[in-house]
Amino acid sequence: MDRKEWYLEYEIKINRPGLLGDISSLLGMLAINIISINGVDNRKRGLLLLVKNEEQIGRLESILRTMETIQVTKIRESNLRDKLAVRHGRYIQRDHDDKKTFRFVRDDLGILVDFMAEHFKQVGHKLIGIRGMPRVGKTESIVAASVCANKKWIFVSSTMIKQTVRSQLIDDEYSENNIFILDGVVSTERANERHWQLVREIMRIPAVKVVEHPDIFVQNSEYSLDDFDYIIELREDPTQEITYDLLKKNRMFDEGGFGAFGGFDY
């Protein structure tokens, strides 16, 4: 039987010497392998485990719940958030009402790049939206994640280098291994029907597409936020408001934004 990866998280109630050693010994007696361990948030520890069957997990959980020194907070088959929590020592914030929305601040760019790269490595169609004010690191993070995932990125619309609004791709750019990047504001302000036809073609490719400013994008296209697999929000700090009116004003005077350069189509 193939082994499965599980995530165990517990809160330390009484931090005494040898506590981790006791838990490690217990896992060893149950023939459960430890893949990695790290502190997660305050007074919590997360472990990625390799388990043969659920019976082992049942025994482990029943014993751990009798221990007064810890309180089990999570025990489940691991997911991407669990793996990143152990890797980086903290959990990615998720919106309480919209479970597909994840929140980051600029200090979390390393975690954000890792998070996106793991999704970029997956095969098939995936539509990702990223919200954020100018110069917060949206495009840079997408490009860095593409590099980490060993994928080529294609700017379909962007202000990364002046203004890019493309109406066609060359043959090898239609590859399923590419990451397609669109800027919802640029596509809305600058694009013609040929560009939108290209967008529709790209949406049919079983590959990853990343849309900056997805709210503006869906207001001016046949797509909706329900079409997105997940949404990323990136802020300078947790209190920063993402305001599209201010964003448009900033772009008017941005050296790569509307009005400073004429941009180019191809």
Would you say 207 and 177 are in contact if contact means Cβ atoms under 8 Å apart?
Answer: yes
List the structure tokens of 145. Answer: 């994640």
pLDDT in tens, 185-235: 999 888 789 999 999 999 999 999 999 999 999 998 999 999 999 999 999
Banded model confidence at residue 249, pLDDT cuts 50, 70, 90: low
The residues, any chain, with a CB within 8 Å of residue 213's CB and separated by 6 or more, are 131, 183, 184, 185, 244, 247
Banded model confidence at residue 250, pLDDT cuts 50, 70, 90: low
Taking the alpha carbons at both ends of the chain, their separation in whole angstroms is 53
Beta bridge pairs of residue 211: 129, 182
Domains of the chain (ranges; CATH) run 4-87 (3.30.70.260), 93-254 (3.40.50)
Name the amino acid, one letter, at 224: S
List the structure tokens of 183. Answer: 């800027």
Rounded-to-integer distance, Cα 22 and Cα 68, Å: 13
Query: Given a cut of 60, is residue 107 above it in pLDDT?
Result: yes
Would you say 41 and 80 are in contact if contact means Cβ atoms under 8 Å apart?
Answer: no
Average per-residue pLDDT for the chain = 88
Would you say 101 and 230 are in contact if contact means Cβ atoms under 8 Å apart?
Answer: yes
pLDDT in tens, 153-185: 999 998 876 778 999 999 889 999 999 999 999
Banded model confidence at residue 260, pLDDT cuts 50, 70, 90: very low
Banded model confidence at residue 245, pLDDT cuts 50, 70, 90: confident
pLDDT in tens, 19-59: 999 999 999 999 999 999 999 877 899 999 999 999 999 99
Gyration radius of the chain over CA positions: 22
List the structure tokens of 33. Answer: 């392998």
CA distances from 2 to 5, 35, 52 (A): 10, 15, 7
List the structure tokens of 188. Answer: 């809305």
Is 124 or 265 the better-scoring residue by pLDDT?
Answer: 124
CA distances from 51 to 2, 33, 108, 223 (A): 9, 7, 31, 42
List the structure tokens of 241. Answer: 């408001």
